[in-house]
């Protein structure tokens, strides 16, 4: 249900309708004693399915933001798991508006943690590294750094950034025979369909879950616990352990 002033709601709805069938996004702020909606550009690679805002917008209006706003196209305003996680990460209320119905849903940070198994893939929100980060936070109370936008862009261009990122997060290389539950495994799979660079850097990571299984999340699949069989063994390149688990 939307508790926004009518002028703000109308501005949000108009922006969402103009962006349809792409998801719209923006923020509501209070400035000079009045609330207003600031529309933003959806920078996501799949704007029909998700939204990505320029993080500098949140920094620019820090302290005056009332809500992060985005639309759902041809589906209810009910928040997805990615929405719930995003709400927690921004530490701000979120307002979701459904197009074309105009229905709205308002959520606030509440300490939500997504389950490790069964997540729907969304790059930067639910992917192989965020799964590892959440595993270490939930199971070992170890906080790993979030990867930066600059690092993600370098990886998308085919640069070898996995070693850099995991080293910065406190991981050290170990031998395969020393592998134990909770260690990380880095893989080099054939480049995804969207890759234009033709390179094969390290491009996937998983948690060794014991009993020859891994916990991981690949594109277009739910996060899952899978047998580390010949295919995964063939493409596994490095085995790592966090410094706090030695």
The domain segmentation of the chain, as residue ranges, is: 6-107, 128-245
Thinking of the domain 128-245, which architecture would CATH place it in?
Alpha-Beta Complex (3.90)
* Fold match, 6-107 / 128-245: no
* Residue 3: count of CB within 10 angstroms of its CB: 10
DSSP letters, 123-135, are: TTTBSHHHHHHHH
Question: Which CATH fold would you assign to the domain 6-107?
Answer: Cytidine Deaminase; domain 2 (3.40.140)
Give the length of the chain.
246
Structure tokens at 227: 């047998």
| Residue 198: per-residue pLDDT | 54
Nearest to 243 by CA among 178, 172, 167, 138: 172
Displacement of CA 199 from its chain's centroid (Å): 24
| Residue 1: per-residue pLDDT | 45
pLDDT band at 105; cut points 50, 70, 90: very high
pLDDT digits (tens, 9 = 90+) for 147-204: 776 777 787 777 788 888 899 999 999 999 999 999 999 999 876 655 555 556 788 9
């Amino acid at each position: 249900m939307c508790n926004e002033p009518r002028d703000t709601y109308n501005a949000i709805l108009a922006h969402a309708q103009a962006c349809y069938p792409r998801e719209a996004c923006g923020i509501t702020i209070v400035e000079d004693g009045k609330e207003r909606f600031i529309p933003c550009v959806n920078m996501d690679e799949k704007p029909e399915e998700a939204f990505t805002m320029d993080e500098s917008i949140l920094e620019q209006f820090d302290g005056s933001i009332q809500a992060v706003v985005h639309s759902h196209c041809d589906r209810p305003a009910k928040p997805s798991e990615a929405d719930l996680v995003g709400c927690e990460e921004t530490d701000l209320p979120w307002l979701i508006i459904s197009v074309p119905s105009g229905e709205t849903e308002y959520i606030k940070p509440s300490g939500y943690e997504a389950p490790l198994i069964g997540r729907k893939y969304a790059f930067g929100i639910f992917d192989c590294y965020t799964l590892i980060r959440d595993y270490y936070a939930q199971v070992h109370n170890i906080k790993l750094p979030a990867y930066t936008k600059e690092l993600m862009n370098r990886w998308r261009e085919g640069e070898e950034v996995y070693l850099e990122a995991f080293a910065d997060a406190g991981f050290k290389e170990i031998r395969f025979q020393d592998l134990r539950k909770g260690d990380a495994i880095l893989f080099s799979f054939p480049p995804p369909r969207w890759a234009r660079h033709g390179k094969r850097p390290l491009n996937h990571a998983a948690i060794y879950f014991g009993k020859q299984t891994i916990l991981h999340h690949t594109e277009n699949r739910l996060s899952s616990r899978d047998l580390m069989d010949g295919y995964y063994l063939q493409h596994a390149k490095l085995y790592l352990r966090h410094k706090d688990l030695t």
